[in-house]
Structure 1
Amino acid sequence: MKKLTLPALLLAATACTMPPPVETVDPTIDQAELARFRRAVPKKQNLSAALPESIAGTGALVGDPAVYPQMAVPHVVGVNTLIGNILDTVEAVVATPPTLFNSETHEFLWGPFDNGDSPLEGDKALVYIREQPEGEDFQFVFAFARLMGDDVASAVPVIWGGVNPNPDDEDQGSGVLLLDFEASRAFGEANGADVTTEARGRFAAGFARGPNDDGSDSMVTIVIGSFRGFNGEGGTEVVNVDHLWGNVTGADGNTIDFMNLAIEGNVLQDTTAAETLDMQLVLWNRGLGRGEVVLTGGDAGANIGDGTECWDAAVEQQYYQVVVTDEAGTETVIETEGDAATGCPAPFDVPLADLGIPTLADVDQGILGALQNAAENGLGG
């Protein structure tokens, strides 16, 4: 079977010049309260997928690096870089002394400060963290916004988050995050900038990290993400992706990582037609695991491609099979490497569905739909 290609995510972030350092701290600002607000910015490690990122090679043979984790690596690196850039930008700003505190709206504000990386004269940026009234979905909301001049009322959020932090543990909590390249592009276009080469699309993610509700001492992390209209490699290919990533870390230190990607893009690359690829991966202690792929549409026509792969603790392939089912229901084995009986040891000797590993289909469809809508239409959608 020909090598599948996952469309590359554009690695970009809102760029700006950080505000100049402030040597003195405003004595009127409650530093304990400021510290409480700063914890509203989530830790990037709580939203970053953890999969092997050092896999090399392109083989599909027993003993070679496993194919499906290798395919997922660019997506993992892309998501982690994107999230890291977003939160690093916000954290760098809020680490400086705030410009003011508004007791009426209960928010800290940083800026406006010059966006020195922008070709637009008068392009500025600001960041705010606001505590919401009781009863709202999120205790805190924060935003990184662009504006022309100093009129704060005209600010356009290009990064937005709503967070419910754990007051006792900064590594726990839940929330949502939105990166809106479309809003940034529209802002530039409205103010006379050449936006031809600027990034496009939006990324929305919901996340939660906390103790497992099964009564064990394990810690669970869940991230649900949706990309819509993202530029592919070279800025010419639009990519739509939904993903689910999770991690369970036991009190004994053992970990289970699982990922489900649903991608609409030019995977087969025979023509420009877009296929739909559903990929599910599970790894035990970042090594031993199993992956399953279903490919439909586009150049696959009426056929359905099903792939299964198992790998060892070194993420080296031990079993690999691809089966194509035509519209009449006839199955044809296209490729097989290794023996499933020996290459897929327990618990990965059965389909992942039998192990009860969560997938995007198990996600509350109201939550997934809200994230997809935000990625499609932005904050006002």
Structure 2
Amino acid sequence: MGRRAAPTSARRCSSIPAGTSSGGPGTRPTRSSTPTSTPGRATTRAICGGSSSSAVPTPTARSSAWPDAVTVDLFIRDARVVRPDALVDCGLVIREGRVVAVLAPGETASARRTLDAGGRPVLPGLIDTHVHLGNAAQSFAADCATESRHAVTGGVTTLLPFVITRESYLDALPGLQRAVGEGVVDMAFHAIIIREHQVDEIPRMAHEFGVRAFKTFMAYKGREISPSGIQGLGDDTIFSVFQKVAAIPGGIAIVHCENMDVIELHQKPFVAAGRQDTAAWSEARPEFGELEAIRRMALFAEAAGVQLLVPHMGVGLGSEFLRQKRWGRGRVATETCPHYLALDKDTDRGVQGKVNPPLRSRPHVEALWQRLTDGTIDVLGSDHCPYTRAVKGTDLWTARAGITGGSAMILPVLLT
């Protein structure tokens, strides 16, 4: 792709093993070839109390003192490393963008630059597994520039945007790969399949461009086809995608799970009544339609033997069956988003609260937090859509669906 490889910890995002929350699917992440002194790009992506794109080694025992004769790029003293089971006070030795040693408190290393963390937490950089760029007021390249700068303010150092084209991906991907050079963080792709001819391109997309994750939609049919070109596919085409992806090492199928027939039946009285509140959008897309679609795709994944990621899950109640993870030869991982954890359908934001799947009731929100805590939910992505108010629209039933929340909201929502 013409950009130097990202750290190993970021490259792990090309596959999401069930039970993890630090990765996401897509192409191999890339980093700009511009010097690390470029404004907005930290040499190690380490922010005290924030992030680092190189995962901090999990120390079982502290390293011995760093040799005085060896000078490294960066030493962070008085850091507090967050392990799964404990907080560890230590010093971090960083060379060529990687944490190479964890020192005991008081130990030092010769470094070109030293930072004092002051006892604050030092965390790995977050990976936002779900971003939509280039579908609104700006081009994909322009969104890569602005939204990546926004993301890094919240400790996000890897973005995985969905890309879409009505034409051949084999023609479009080279330009998209160049466009990510405008970003200041590591970036990778998911490809949205909206045309049957693109199904046949999946093996070449994986082999020639490193794409590993492919998304399809069950919703967005008929009058709901998105202005950005997103449209739902039939079960037959979705299953064909599953079969193609199952043959790709590390391949992941992603499906927007909503039963469109159920939605069309339920929406009619709400449209006729002229309701414009956020709750109306939720009630017109009932939760059982989302749950049924998730169960159906899990069964498809079992039959095809593919790894499935259920994105932006808004239903918490009734999702307990997803703890199963493995479905025969298939495997199911799940993602939710900050807005499903912070807002509910009665938080009336009018058209600004229109998102698919919709916001649910407060009991669903509480259940999602439980699913996040017990490991049922594997991934947290923002599903950020950088819409202006003009692009979003003002009528609930014709406006674009999507929350302009931003990648920078992931960590604040988790911590507060």
Q: TM-score, normalised by structure 1?
A: 0.25
Q: Which has the higher helix share?
A: 2
Normalised by the size of structure 2, how large is the TM-score? 0.24
